[in-house]
Chain A
Amino acid sequence: MNWLASVDPLYAHGITAVVILIALIKIVAGFASIMGAVILMIWFERKVISKMQSRIGPQRWGPFGLLQTLADGIKLFFKEDLIPAEADRFVFKLAPYLCLVPALITFSIVPVGGTLHIAGHTVMLQVANPPMGILVMLAMSGISVYGVMLAGWASGSKYPLISSVRASAQMISYEAALGMTIVTIILATGSLSTHDIVTSQAHGVWHWNLIRLGVVPFVVFLIAITAELNRPPFDVVEAETELVGGFNTEYSSLRFALFYLAEFMNTITMSAIMVTLFFGGPAGYIPPIHHFAWVFPILWFLGKTVAFAFSYIWFRAALPRFRYDQLMDLGWKRLIPLSLGWMLIVAGFLVNRWWGISMMGTVILGWFVLTRAYSLGADRTVGSESVLPEVGQRPTPSRLYRQRTTKGEN
């Protein structure tokens, strides 16, 4: 069992009843705090977005409308639970949980604070510190694709299916860029575990991955994770004007509530992951106050996470939605080459300066080749179906286009 101790110092003295109790408390506390955070996040988003749109927002239930989410939850609980006649009943019931559970599991690897010493045990303030660390997050974002995809398919309805196919294509495409930036971070840290990633950034702002790796990985990660979350401006999944209401159109009552919960939980979790990867997690100034020094890392972590949660809401209020083909262009043609090139450069500089410079040269060469390839591809204007028009033009529906062109020829 010594490999357990190498991962988490809690298990250093063997597994006793106290250790199991501490682990259970960590799990329950983690679950309770993420649930509470979700309720607050829903309220926060509605309140902030109404301020940005010169509205008042929820205000009736509780002080500042804080209990609005609970009231909504109770309302949803008492609604009729519909399953469409065309639905695949088992998969239809399974899908919401496939959305929710990955969100919960991802939160478990986020380091919330430093380490505590309780009853002679060293306790990390994170639910788990598995050796594969940040890969858990990638795996779980891979699994949450199924929730979206199967929800749309199992509904037995056209629009949810279109939405779910869009969503899963989008999530898979952006996962590549996401993985590449995470590789950059892992290279700089030399470890997969989130705890090590945070401790390697603990020596001040200049050691944060944001600055240490150049700002590019952070920007790529931010864009990719927003797309992964299906949040605005990448919410083609729930483009109301095209798709009614997205993959969860046919869901009602508690199952709808689960999707809603999962969406906001993912937003919080990904904000926390971003803080962990790029902003040093709980790192920050700790005032010399006895017995309460352990509170400040948690406060730092909370502050940074709330800042990101706010920026997501800001995106939603400020940015118009991407068109689907623009979204795919951005993912495959811009972000993946960019993150790959940056990873090569960082890897080169980690070996020594000359490797770094030669890698830079390679990447610049690759950039030229890629630009040439894109322009060649864009020049191949052959038919309305093969190449979509440039950004800013509406694509002509192909049938209309064909009718028009054949009439012109006659």
Chain B
Amino acid sequence: MMLALAYAVPSVIVFVAAAALILTGAIGVISLKNPVHAALSLIMTLFGVAVAFIAQQADFLAAVQIIVYAGAIVVLFLFVIMFLGVDRREGVDVQPLVSQKPLALVGVVITVSAIIFTMSRSSWVTGVPSLSLGGTRLATGSHNVKQLGTSIFTTYLFAFEATAALLIIAVVGAVLLARRERVLEEAS
């Protein structure tokens, strides 16, 4: 609370609202029984992240977050859910791995304590535009896009191209796996 008071009230409000959206959505994803409802709360989380991006003045990232994740990826999730027909009967009580639950608990405890440890050591604060790109602030408006584009196509060019190649490999692999060679005799 003392930390929060040190910063402007509106940004704290925005941060709290975004955090509430993200957390409610995330809890919904793992706790809701119906997969479609879970996908919907995943969208809620994505919206919360977009709000957080806007609060950090990363407007372009926020828009892309909605367009790509909410507008395409979760739609594909829903497609799969609808086509496979898993939307009604749901066997969440079946445990495919024995002793999965205690192991998961241990994993969660380790991860969360690591995060809290890092946060206590570094200067992570709420609702304040973070510093990036070597200490300079993110530019606003269309300069934001320019900054992002420049860093992608100069500093991080290799990572960018490697990602592109990975995606292409994934697509080609999926097509190869899904393709069934039907011979002409079968049809005629």
Contact = CB atoms under 8 A, between A and B. Distances in A.
Contacts of B62: 132
Contact of A153 (B36, B71, B144, B183): B36
A375 to B, nearest CB: 17
B171 to A, nearest CB: 13
Interface residues of B, number: 34
B184 A381 contact: yes
B140 A145 contact: no
A191 B142 contact: yes
B14 interface: no
Contacts, number: 98
Contact of B78 (A3, A130, A149, A190): A149
Given A142-B72, A382-B187, A132 B37 contact: no
Nearest to A135: B63
A135 B142 CA distance: 12
Given A145-B71, A168-B75, A139 B187 contact: no
Interface string A323-339: 00000000000000000
A330 to B, nearest CB: 20
A383 B75 contact: no
B34 interface: yes
A314 B75 CA distance: 32
Interface string A149-168: 11001000000010001001
B164 interface: no
A386 interface: yes
A67 interface: no
A192 interface: yes
Interface in A186-212: 190-193, 196
A149 to B, nearest CB: 6
B12 interface: no
A172 B60 CA distance: 20
Interface string B149-188: 0000000000000000000000000000000011110111
A405 interface: yes
The 10 A-B pairs of least Cβ separation, nearest first, read A142-B71, A135-B63, A139-B66, A3-B140, A383-B187, A132-B63, A382-B182, A383-B182, A131-B141, A191-B142
Given A7-B140, A91-B37, A139-B63, 20 more contacts: A6-B141, A88-B36, A90-B37, A91-B40, A131-B140, A132-B59, A132-B60, A132-B63, A136-B63, A138-B71, A139-B66, A139-B70, A142-B67, A149-B78, A153-B36, A153-B78, A153-B82, A168-B79, A191-B141, A386-B182
20 contacts: A3-B141, A6-B141, A7-B140, A88-B36, A132-B63, A138-B71, A139-B70, A141-B71, A142-B71, A149-B75, A153-B78, A165-B82, A168-B75, A168-B78, A168-B79, A172-B71, A382-B181, A382-B183, A383-B182, A385-B182
